């Protein structure tokens, strides 16, 4: 739930650091609030006890020896900077007062707030008009009927409270520094290894099957996870090698009998005079060719997906390659009343398997011709950028559904716009993806705003001579 408070792309280290900072500030503020309340309460109790105690002592001194002893004791106490003493008559007139400048300006009451009994003391708060400090004052009835007033300001108490609060803030900051130590440990032994694992998984997703999870400084649980994951990858690699070997054997075993059956059918087709038999033999040859192409497409797709497809690399001009494909498909587009455009003017050389790439582009053009209605337009384009080049095939057909955008690249999957009259078995785009993957590239598709779909093959750009020397 707390993760919703942070942006999605914020690293976990910053999230944890901010969360700890918020918790530290809240806990420190709570501690300061509680401590301040407790200190204020204790100081208030102490201040009341001090006022009552001093008030009683001054009353004893006055009742015993009169005003002179009270004045002498008050002066000798050295508290004349924050304390005040007064004596008022029964009618409220002031008989004596000793009010230092620090406690001046307070509106002392003329009469006690209630009827006082002998030796009874009352306490009250006296505010100041402009100062934040208050006076805690007490009054007591003297033996001669006069009233003794004694009060002290809370300036010293507030200063002490502020000192305690500052010390708590210092303690909170020191605690925050200590709390960063577990964060540093967590970032080093948990978050950083997880990030390294994510980099390894991205390499795996890109097709680098030799990548493995590495967690040298991670906690034991992550190390155990990496070991178990790597053991699983090793097992998958072993099974993939066995599967690849089985596929090779299957292809070899299928090609030979298919070739023999085809040869026998050709012989039968060429030496029979029965028209029905010749027609049946011709249809059988077509089915055998179709089965052979299907087997070869499946094996090529599987090999390309695992980067086990053998490529015959050569330096080719992609612009010229697209021009040749445009000339090859232009007549087919005209037969369907479609327009085929070429947008590739600048030469761009790349290290590719020309035959395989021709096969991939041909599949994209076949799909565009099949799904574009009469009068529609198809564009074969080349985009050259600094880090990669893209071969695009745009059409003005029905476009792709949301499900097509993710599932259409799987084997034996056809688009939602396909009908029973649309040729194909759903292997063309999977073959395109496999060939692009074998070239360390990517394939993709998207709907166009003006209608139709756009398919593309992205290949890495660079110096083809340098790439050729590195092969």
Q: How many Cα atoms sit within 13 Å of 441 on the Cβ side?
A: 26
Average pLDDT over residues 336-344: 91
Which pLDDT value is given to residue 469? 47
- Binning pLDDT at 50, 70 and 90, where does residue 207 land? low
Three-class SS state of 84: strand
Fold of 13-159: Beta-Lactamase (3.30.450)
Q: How many CB atoms lie within 10 A of CB 420?
A: 4
Q: How far apart are CA 263 and CA 257, in angstroms?
A: 10
Instruction: Name which residue leads in pLDDT, 258 or 125.
Output: 125
Q: Are 338 and 377 in contact (CB under 8 A)?
A: yes
Which pLDDT value is given to residue 455? 92
Which tokens belong to 345? Answer: 């003017």
Q: How far apart are CA 305 and CA 325, in angstroms?
A: 25
Q: Are 355 and 316 in contact (CB under 8 A)?
A: no
Which tokens belong to 384? Answer: 């050259």
Q: Residue holding tokens 């400084």? A: 217
Q: How far apart are CA 378 and CA 394, in angstroms?
A: 6
Instruction: Name which residue leads in pLDDT, 461 or 463.
Output: 461
Share the mean pLDDT of the chain.
80
pLDDT at residue 420 tops 60:
no
Quick: pLDDT tens for 421-452: 566 666 778 888 888 888 888 888 999 888 88
Q: How far apart are CA 58 and CA 132, in angstroms?
A: 28
Quick: pLDDT tens for 290-317: 666 666 666 666 666 656 667 788 889 9
Quick: pLDDT tens for 36-77: 788 888 888 888 898 888 888 888 888 888 888 888 888 776
pLDDT at residue 7 tops 60:
no
Where does 231-376 show beta strands of DSSP type E? 314-317, 339-343, 349-352
Which pLDDT value is given to residue 278? 77
**3-state per-residue secondary structure call for 220-272:** HHHHHHHHHHHHHHHHHHHHHHHHHHHHHHHHHHHHHHHHHHHHHHHHHHHHC
4-18, 86-100, 107-121, 194-208: the lowest-pLDDT one = 4-18
Element (H, E) at 74: helix 67-76
Quick: pLDDT tens for 369-404: 988 889 999 999 998 887 889 999 999 988 888 777
For every residue of 169-191, DSSP letters joined together read HHHHHHHHHHHHHHHHHHIIIII
The answer to whether the predicted template modeling score (pTM) of the entire model surpasses 0.85 is no
Q: How far apart are CA 462 and CA 469, in angstroms?
A: 13
Q: How far apart are CA 450 and CA 283, in angstroms?
A: 43
CA angle 320, 321, 324 (to 5 degrees): 85
Which pLDDT value is given to residue 423? 62
Which pLDDT value is given to residue 247? 59
* CATH architecture of the domain covering 314-470: 2-Layer Sandwich (3.30)
Q: Residue holding tokens 């004045």? A: 71
Of the chain, the end-to-end C-alpha distance in Å amounts to 52
pLDDT at residue 10 tops 60:
yes
Which pLDDT value is given to residue 407? 78
Strand partners, 125: 136
pLDDT at residue 341 tops 90:
yes
Q: How far apart are CA 419 and CA 188, in angstroms?
A: 56
């Amino acid at each position: 739930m707390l993760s919703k408070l942070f942006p999605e792309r914020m690293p976990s280290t910053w999230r944890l650091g901010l969360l700890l900072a918020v918790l530290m500030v809240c806990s420190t503020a709570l501690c300061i609030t509680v401590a301040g309340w407790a200190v204020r309460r204790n100081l208030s109790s102490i201040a009341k006890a001090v006022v009552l105690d001093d008030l009683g002592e001054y009353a004893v001194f006055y009742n015993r020896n009169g005003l002179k002893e009270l004045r002498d004791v008050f002066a000798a106490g050295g508290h004349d900077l924050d304390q005040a003493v007064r004596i008022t008559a029964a009618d409220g007139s002031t008989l004596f007062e000793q009010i230092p400048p620090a406690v001046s300006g307070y509106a002392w009451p003329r009469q006690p707030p209630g009827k006082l009994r002998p030796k009874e003391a009352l306490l009250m708060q006296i505010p100041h008009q402009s100062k934040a400090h208050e006076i805690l004052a007490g009054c007591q009835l003297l033996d001669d009927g006069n009233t003794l007033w004694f009060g002290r300001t809370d300036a010293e108490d507030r200063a002490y409270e502020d000192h305690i609060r500052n010390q708590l803030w210092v303690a909170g900051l020191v605690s925050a520094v200590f709390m960063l130590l577990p964060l540093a440990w967590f970032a080093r032994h948990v978050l950083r290894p997880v990030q390294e694992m994510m980099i390894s998984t991205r390499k795996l997703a890109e097709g680098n099957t030799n990548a493995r999870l590495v967690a040298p400084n991670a906690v034991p649980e992550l190390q155990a996870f990496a070991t178990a994951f790597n053991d699983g990858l090793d097992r998958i690699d072993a099974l993939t090698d066995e599967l690849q070997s089985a596929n090779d054997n299957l292809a070899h075993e299928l090609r030979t009998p298919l070739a023999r059956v085809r040869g026998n059918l050709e012989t039968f087709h060429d030496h029979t005079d029965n028209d029905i038999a010749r027609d049946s033999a011709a249809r059988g040859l077509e089915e055998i060719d179709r089965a052979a192409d299907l087997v070869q497409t499946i094996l090529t797709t599987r090999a390309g997906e695992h980067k086990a497809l053998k490529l015959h690399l050569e330096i080719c001009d992609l612009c010229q390659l697209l021009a040749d494909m445009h000339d090859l498909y232009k007549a087919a587009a005209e037969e369907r009343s479609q327009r085929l455009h070429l947008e590739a003017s600048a030469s761009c050389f790349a290290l590719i398997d020309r035959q395989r790439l021709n096969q991939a582009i041909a599949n994209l053009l076949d799909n565009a011709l099949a799904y574009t209605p009469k009068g529609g337009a198809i564009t074969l384009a080349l985009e050259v950028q600094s880090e990669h080049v893209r071969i695009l095939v745009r059409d003005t057909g029905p476009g792709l559904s949301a499900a097509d955008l993710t599932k259409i690249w799987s084997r034996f999957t056809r688009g939602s716009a396909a009908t029973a009259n649309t040729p194909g078995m759903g292997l063309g785009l999977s073959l395109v993806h496999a060939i692009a993957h074998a070239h360390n590239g990517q394939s993709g598709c998207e709907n166009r705003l003006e209608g139709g779909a756009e398919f593309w093959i992205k290949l890495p750009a660079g110096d083809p001579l340098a790439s050729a020397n590195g092969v």
